[in-house]
Structure 1
Amino acid sequence: MTSVQDLLDLLILEKVDDSQFIGYSKTVGSKRVFGGQVLAQAINAACRTITNQRILHSMHAYFLEAGKLDLPIQFNVSCVRDGGSFSVRRVTAQQNGTTIFILSASFHKKEAGYNHQIAMKSDIKQPEDLLSWTDILHQYGDFLPKSLKVFFEIDRPIEFKPTVVVNPLERVDLPPFSDVWFKLKGNVNNLDLATKQQILTYISDYNILVSALNPHASIAHWGNTQTASLDHSMWYFRDFDFDDWLLFSMESPNASNARGFARGNIFSRDGKLVASVAQEGLMRPLNK
């Protein structure tokens, strides 16, 4: 995938009937289905059953089994509730009759109310001053570990720019934080809010566990640690556009029992808080 249109072709599901949809997969460098893909496809399925103009405001999901890239995914949507202000949908994703994923999503009618938010970091480096994953590949590809180089070589519809580029050959523990700018490739005009939320959900599964691995970087890395998303929650606060860079600012309060917990906030360049994310992931040391 090289553009936002390629991403939309992946995320917009085939309709079987009013509550069943079919999705397909593309790799992001792993042998398993990317969690962000299943999250976004499930949100697409849930949104397609909302007929009262309500807006997605939260979702909570569990990854139950690793998805297989070569099999279609069937998404089944249940209407849990259509109340006076909120609508709730439950989505299950299956492959060959096995449930691999479940998600609940809540939609709210548009209402006026109180408004506040936390501030974006004031000393953050701007994307124009940073190297993207593509830049890192071109400038340092010959020096990168093979697995990381292969990961960077995958074509993506998103450009990422971390505010700190870590030397993977230096084995030093790092603070439990990570800040990454991101921007879509291609024409981002005329995207409705529901579509933008689905794309943002897809992107939210990138980078977030890095902050949980950082404090253990002297001994742990992607090559000797089994990682996988276990659950994922997201709250959507404000409308936004993809015509400029957005910042995903992440932190990890805890790692224990072979699991790491991370949370993050997504801001527009001008500091508007767009969404918040929380995820717990498997971080299992491998004995080699």
Structure 2
Amino acid sequence: MNEPLTSPSPSHIPAAGPHTPLDELLALLDLEPIEEDIFRGRTGRAVLVPRVFGGQVAAQALVAAGRTVPADRPPHSLHSYFLRPGDPAVPIVYTVDRIRDGGSFTTRRVVAVQHGQPIFHLSASFQRHEEGLEHQEAMPAAPAPETLPTAAETLRRYAPLLGGPGVVDRILDARSAVDLRYADEPPFGSVGEPREPKSQVWFRTNGKLADDPLLHICLATYVSDMTLLDSVLLAHGRGGWAVGDVVGASLDHAMWFHRPFRADEWLLYDQESPTSQGGRGLARGRIFTESGQLAVSVIQEGVIRIPRPGR
């Protein structure tokens, strides 16, 4: 490949006939070029809170950065801050700064803007493949994904707690491009019962993807923001934003991409929280391929507050 890496393009979407949820997600990640190094992205539907899903903003920003980088340099890390809630009613404009193009590494900075104000800031580094020292942590034990209930089966068990079947249907609709399965009970399944702040989910896209490495990395970035802070809630027996016993939002998000992987094949997302304090919770995750390769490391801090009466 001699062309630059690109985000999902209209060629991934059927020209006619019904579109799948994955087609719709790929179209959401297909940014519109406005000017050199400036792109516009559509926003998805708000589900439980009136803001754009953070994983979408992070994935779109990485798409924008990747469109300015040669194809032989996939991203190896990103560091980002969520600055303001995204407005789901208007598009997001992404501006890319070409910070550095070196012999082995390329650095890009992306600012996402709505209503004239930055809502998200990302720095991403890309690297040409090199041989080097190799080692990794062992993959933790986890049940096989095919043995686990689907997200629909898990969430519908807790429909009364989550606000009824209509709310569950909206959550499932928003996540329908991804097959995500909880290895154990999610936070809303053990409200009032603090337990070890560790959780696992398996995920893959609901459909096959093209071979573009950037596409798979951007989709993993999208999913990585869905469940990571759950481990913070488990330590305190809180059900989370879905049941309203905490309010919160992502503050920052960092990822390191270690080895090639496919987002349309099963990936184990192993998550834990080492600490929470000061209205913030820290969580870290490791994403493994089904064969045991450590593909991605993730760290995120989020605002997590207990709602106060009258506020």
Instruction: With the length of structure 2 as denominator, give the TM-score of the two structures.
Output: 0.86
Matched pairs, number: 284
CA distance in 2, matches of 1:64, 1:262: 19
Q: Secondary structure at the match of 2:189?
A: coil
Q: Do 2:194 and 2:236's aligned partners in 1 also have CA atoms closer than 8 Å?
A: yes
RMSD between aligned alpha carbons?
A: 1.9
In the alignment, which residue of structure 1 is the partner of 2:213? Answer: 193
Equivalent residue in structure 1 for 2:125, among 106, 116, 122: 106
1:28 Cα offset (Å): 5.5
CA distance in 1, matches of 2:177, 2:290: 19
**Is residue 2:41 matched to residue 1:20?**
no
In the alignment, which residue of structure 1 is the partner of 2:151? Answer: 133
In the alignment, which residue of structure 2 is the partner of 1:168? Answer: 189
Matched AA of 1:146: G
In the alignment, which residue of structure 2 is the partner of 1:206? Answer: 226
In the alignment, which residue of structure 2 is the partner of 1:221? Answer: 240
Q: Do 1:134 and 1:152's aligned partners in 2 also have CA atoms closer than 8 Å?
A: no
Q: Do 2:207 and 2:264's aligned partners in 1 also have CA atoms closer than 8 Å?
A: no
**Is residue 2:160 matched to residue 1:146?**
no
1:174-204 Cα distance to aligned partner (Å, 9 max, x none): 211010001211232x331011111111011
Larger CA deviation: 66-75 vs 164-173: 164-173
1:149 Cα offset (Å): 2.7
CA distance in 2, matches of 1:153, 1:37: 16
Matches within 5 A, 1:254-265: 254-265=275-286
Matched AA of 2:107: V
Matched AA of 2:274: P
CA distance in 2, matches of 1:169, 1:216: 10
In the alignment, which residue of structure 1 is the partner of 2:296? Answer: 275
How high is the sequence identity, in percent, across the aligned residues? 39
CA distance in 1, matches of 2:191, 2:248: 21
Q: Secondary structure at the match of 1:50?
A: coil
Runs (4 or more) in structure 1 with deviation over 6 Å come to none
**Is residue 2:273 matched to residue 1:252?**
yes
Structure 2 CA distance for partners of 1:60 and 1:130, relative to 1, 3 Å: same
In the alignment, which residue of structure 2 is the partner of 1:285? Answer: 306
**Is residue 2:57 matched to residue 1:42?**
no
Instruction: With the length of structure 1 as denominator, give the TM-score of the two structures.
Output: 0.93
Structure 2 CA distance for partners of 1:39 and 1:186, relative to 1, 3 Å: same
Structure 2 CA distance for partners of 1:2 and 1:144, relative to 1, 3 Å: farther
CA distance in 1, matches of 2:88, 2:161: 26
Q: Do 2:220 and 2:263's aligned partners in 1 also have CA atoms closer than 8 Å?
A: no
Q: Secondary structure at the match of 1:264?
A: strand
1:169 Cα offset (Å): 6.2
Larger CA deviation: 47-56 vs 76-85: 47-56
Matched AA of 1:214: L
Structure 2 CA distance for partners of 1:175 and 1:208, relative to 1, 3 Å: same
Equivalent residue in structure 1 for 2:114, among 79, 95, 112: 95
1:41 Cα offset (Å): 0.3
Larger CA deviation: 140-149 vs 190-199: 140-149
1:159 Cα offset (Å): 1.3
CA distance in 2, matches of 1:149, 1:168: 14
Matched AA of 2:82: F
Equivalent residue in structure 2 for 1:115, among 110, 123, 134: 134
Q: Do 2:151 and 2:172's aligned partners in 1 also have CA atoms closer than 8 Å?
A: no
Gaps of 5+ in 1: none
1:61 Cα offset (Å): 0.3
CA distance in 2, matches of 1:55, 1:187: 20
Higher relative contact order (CA 8 A, sep 6+): 1
Structure 2 CA distance for partners of 1:52 and 1:272, relative to 1, 3 Å: closer
Q: Do 1:3 and 1:186's aligned partners in 2 also have CA atoms closer than 8 Å?
A: no
